[in-house]
Structures are given as structure tokens and as C-alpha cells.
Chains A and B, each alone.
Chain A
Amino acid sequence: DAKTTQPTSMDCAEGRAANLPCNHSTISGNEYVYWYRQIHSQGPQYIIHGLKNNETNEMASLIITEDRKSSTLILPHATLRDTAVYYCIVRPGNTGFQKLVFGTGTRLLVSP
């Protein structure tokens, strides 16, 4: 898996957009960008993933730069329940590759 770099921690005010960056400068052409989050003492939860194009679902938006070397996860209206550790992971899309390896993640604190 390509390595990812994320800030250790970030703060966000409730109701504002939270923009979480991820650097994956060694990403290969067939590697997907995945985002998971882990709320305290729970299992990780899938948020969103993408390959080249920007993606949006009911939880978040994923913006991938044109060169694919970095991405940003956007929580449009952060709530207190979004306080969690957010993990950015890249993994190949080819058949046969099985690992899902977590980096250190970003601890997001949403405050009132």
C-alpha cells in the first residue's frame, strides 16, 4: 500500500465544515483512496472511497487532486458525533491484493 500522511489532530466548530487532508504522493494509478473513522472504543466505520473523480455520499465528500497525490475529506456540517479518529488509506484495485492497513490517522475534535 502507498503510504499516507495526515495531521495528528484537528479542531472544528460544530456546524462548520471539517476539511481533513491526506497526502499520498506515492499513490499508483490503480490505487483507491479510502476513508474510515473510528469513534472512541468502537470499530472503524467506512465513510467513502474514490479512484480519480470526486465522490459524495450522505456522510461526506471526497476531493482528490488531479495528480492524485493528495485528497481531502469534507464533512459539510460537523456535529459533536463526528468527533473521531479519521483514517485515510490507499489500496490497490487489482485482484488478489487483500490487505487493509491503517496509518496513524487524524483525531478530529468537534466542539460546541
Chain B
Amino acid sequence: DTEVTQTPKHLVMGMTNKKSLKCEQHMGHRAMYWYKQKAKKPPELMFVYSYEKLSINESVPSRFSPECPNSSLLNLHLHALQPEDSALYLCASRLEPGGGNTEAFFGQGTRLTVV
């Protein structure tokens, strides 16, 4: 199994809603990532988890709240989002957090629309 599974594939939410994005991998990877991608732009790193601990937060607004309940699961909790937060949210995982000799596996993303 070399898949990173993201759910839901599409999500429409109001600015007062609370929702969560889910990411799951069963490859035994110990590093997991959240990225945000706007149309025609490259993915932008948001958070990095290493061994289930948050190790990097790229100055992301607090309305985005990541959580890593176990080594296979990564959540992104959303609250009071703005329309400009509409984007493709990508999850990725790597075998180990450090070291340059292992590739990252990406999920297919959640297309989020904030209305």
C-alpha cells in the first residue's frame, strides 16, 4: 500500500462552520505534511509533523489547526475560514522526517470552497 488517502475530496463550507480534513497513510511513514495550493501556483507548505509531534508551522493562521492522533492519521481542523482560504489542500508523508534520500507521497487533495 503506497497510498495517501485524503477525505473528503470536495468540501464546501460557510465562514462560520467548523469542518475537518482527514489524511491517512499505512506505509509506516513518520513524517506527515499539510500543503495549501491556490490555482496555478505551487503547493505551499503549512505544517510538518515528525513522529506525531508538530515540528514546523509556517506561520499559518490559527483558524487552521492540525492534529496528529496517531502515526497513520493527520487531521486539519478548520474554523472561521475566509473565502480566500479556498484552495486545494494536500497531505503528504515521508518515511523519515530528516534526510534527503527518501521521496514524499502525496494524496489527491481536498478541494475546499469557503462561501
What residues of chain A have their CB less than 8 Å away from a CB belonging to chain B?
Answer: 30-32, 34, 36, 38, 41-46, 49, 51, 85, 87, 91-105
Q: Given A31, A36, A87, A95, which contacts B98 in the complex, CB threshold below 8 Å? A: A95
Chain-A contact segment, one of B66-74, B76-84, B99-107:
B99-107
What residues of chain B have their CB less than 8 Å away from a CB belonging to chain A?
Answer: 4, 31, 33, 42-45, 48, 50, 55-56, 88, 90, 92, 94, 97-101, 103-109, 111
| Distance between A3 CB and nearest chain B CB, rounded to angstroms | 13
| Distance between B99 CB and nearest chain A CB, rounded to angstroms | 6
Contact A34 B48 (CB under 8 A): no
Contact B90 A103 (CB under 8 A): no
Contact A43 B50 (CB under 8 A): no
Closest chain B residue to A30 by CB distance?
B100
19 contacts between A and B (CB under 8 A): A30-B100, A31-B100, A32-B100, A32-B101, A41-B111, A43-B90, A45-B106, A49-B101, A51-B100, A51-B101, A87-B42, A96-B98, A98-B31, A98-B48, A98-B55, A99-B45, A99-B48, A100-B92, A104-B42
A43-B92, A44-B92, A96-B97 known, 12 other contacts, Cβ within 8 Å: A41-B88, A43-B4, A43-B109, A44-B104, A93-B99, A94-B99, A95-B99, A96-B98, A98-B48, A99-B48, A99-B56, A102-B44
| Distance between A68 CB and nearest chain B CB, rounded to angstroms | 13
